Chains A and B, each alone.
Chain A
Amino acid sequence: MPNSSSIGTMTVFDIVVIGSGPAGTTTARYAAEKGLSVLMVDKKQELGAPIQCSGAVSFNALDNAGVFPSPEFIQEAIYGFAIYNGQGQKKVIDYRKIKPGEYGSEAGAKPLGFVVDRRRFDRYLATQAERAGVTIWLKTEALGYRVLDDGSCEVALKKFNDTITVKAKVVVGADGVQSQVGKWAGIKTHIKLSELASCLQFVVDGVQTEGLLEIVTGHEWAPGGYAWVFPKGHGYAEIGLGVTRTMCTDNAQVYLDKFLKQSFFKERFKNCRILEIQGGGVPLAAPLKIQHADNLILVGDAARHVNSITGGGIHTALSSGKIAGNFLAALLLSGEPCTKENLKGYHNNWLNAMGNNMWKLYEVKRKIFDTADIAQRDEQLYATMSNYFSVDSEYKKI
């Protein structure tokens, strides 16, 4: 198992990963599996909490990143989608009916995806990383980094109440939507108000679901975003929405209240009881044009690796983490320094594997939300969402 070493009193690692979400844990695991010494820090005391996510992720996303779909984190299996327009007309894409035998709950068939509990999911991913040799420090906030003359860098950390410095060849900013790590290197990471979906969701009891992710489009319910009803296991459901604040007059809370009480689902929601409140920001933004600097790269939400049509970022965080971990392992094992120039290879690998497609998705999203006529925009979003999740979708590979 690779270990840190010490120079004087300073601890030295090959890689310091900041953030232990899907992006950080995956980057750390792939790098450690290749034999590098990796420290992953998170300021949280409990992984995945507070929850800022609905937890929908495809079977393929887990499979591609070597994550076994464990009952430890799965809350409910998903078999398809129901996409609604603002008036309640729906398109159901149920893979149990489209490809019977292949998708389903019976023996030999598999689910299309899952709703996961992010507390347990993030902990599971961290355990995988830890078993691959990653050192994990919780209650450890990264405060800044400094490039050193010898081609490495040092990272200032606050671990519980102690301020310490560790030395590394490269720092990975996997610090999520509120990323500060990029700013340390002068990368502009703040997200435009017009490109951040402001989201709120309730975990509820008393709302029936059918193994489908339900997506409700329409300016009336969620301007610049959509509303959702996801199965949450044990008879629970998630009801939530994301709105673009520059496209509406009120905040997400007002819209969620309206969705519960006034939408075509109001009868269905009549007896729902709210058990948990969660929220967050989803960057429906272009990926960062620059995701690297000397001794530093950004991965996941921090680099805005989010699907700007669906707002999904778990799949893309896992995939980018794998690309980043493998790239850094190859670079460091080659003995080449982690200069900005050399780290561009990470960005190029990411563009080829998924980034170019993410840029295309962003353009599709932008075109829809730039449409001034609301009826037209609603129609486009409904059509695009329906198309996105269909079996023969042109976006399938993204």
Chain B
Amino acid sequence: MMSTKDPVVFEVEWNACIKCGACVAVCPQEAGFTSSFDTIAVNKACDIACMFCQTVCPVNAITHQTLFSTEAAVF
């Protein structure tokens, strides 16, 4: 999938997450874009930035930061 959007880094608020896997189910990334907690990856930049994971989350556990604006925080 091509995207012209800036890459983003997701953050999952662990206590809000009910570990339902919906975010992973809608993710169009390659295999392995998952964290060890059955959620979307939080330690890699996502260059698709479709936001499906954030939208589908039933409990608003996912937020994101645009990579270029948060470079200092990411690296």
Q: Which residues of A are in contact with B by a Cβ distance under 8 Å?
A: 50, 52, 144, 176-180, 183-184, 190-193, 196, 198-200, 245, 251-253, 277-281, 283
Contacts and interface: CB of A to CB of B under 8 A. Distances in A.
22 contacts: A52-B21, A177-B22, A178-B34, A180-B31, A180-B32, A183-B30, A190-B29, A191-B25, A193-B26, A196-B25, A198-B56, A200-B59, A245-B55, A245-B56, A251-B60, A253-B58, A253-B59, A253-B60, A279-B22, A279-B59, A280-B22, A283-B25
Given A50-B18, A190-B26, A279-B18, A178 B38 contact: yes
Contacts, number: 78
Given A183-B31, A196-B56, A199-B20, 7 more contacts: A177-B25, A184-B31, A190-B29, A199-B58, A252-B58, A279-B22, A281-B26
A233 B20 CA distance: 23
B56 A280 contact: no
A191 B20 contact: no
A245 B53 CA distance: 11
B21 A281 contact: yes
Contact of B24 (A144, A178, A184): A178
Contact of A193 (B30, B31, B32, B55): B55
- The DSSP consensus for interface residues of chain B is loop
B24, B58, B59 — which one has the most chain A CB atoms within 10 A of its CB?
A: B58
B18 A278 contact: yes
Interface size class of B (residues with CB under 8 A): 20 to 34
A278 B24 CA distance: 17
Given A178-B38, A180-B32, A190 B27 contact: yes
A279 B57 CA distance: 10
B22, B24, B52 — which one has the most chain A CB atoms within 10 A of its CB?
A: B22
- The DSSP consensus for interface residues of chain A is mixed
Nearest to B30: A183
B49 to A, nearest CB: 14
A190 B58 contact: no
B44 interface: no
B64 interface: no
A52 B25 CA distance: 14
Contacts of A184: 31
A193 B56 contact: yes
Contacts of A251: 57-60
Q: Which 7 A-B pairs have the closest CB atoms?
A: A281-B22, A183-B31, A252-B58, A178-B21, A178-B24, A280-B20, A279-B20
B21 A176 contact: yes
A52 B27 CA distance: 19
Contacts of B57: 198, 251
B19 A196 contact: no
A199 B26 CA distance: 14
B31 to A, nearest CB: 4
Interface string B10-48: 000000001111101111111110100010000000000
Contacts of A193: 26, 52, 55-56
A256 B42 CA distance: 27
A281 B25 contact: yes
Nearest to B32: A180
Contacts of B26: 190-193, 196, 281
A280 B21 contact: yes
Given A183-B30, A183-B31, A190-B28, A198 B22 contact: yes
A196 B60 contact: no
A161 B16 CA distance: 27
A193 B28 CA distance: 10
Nearest to A179: B25
B31 A178 contact: no
Contacts of B18: 50, 200, 277-279
A200 B18 CA distance: 9
Contacts of B34: 178, 180
A203 B68 CA distance: 43
A284 to B, nearest CB: 12
A191 B59 CA distance: 19
Nearest to B36: A141
B32 A200 contact: no
B54 to A, nearest CB: 10
A281 B30 contact: no
Interface string B49-75: 000100111111000000000000000
Contacts of B27: 190
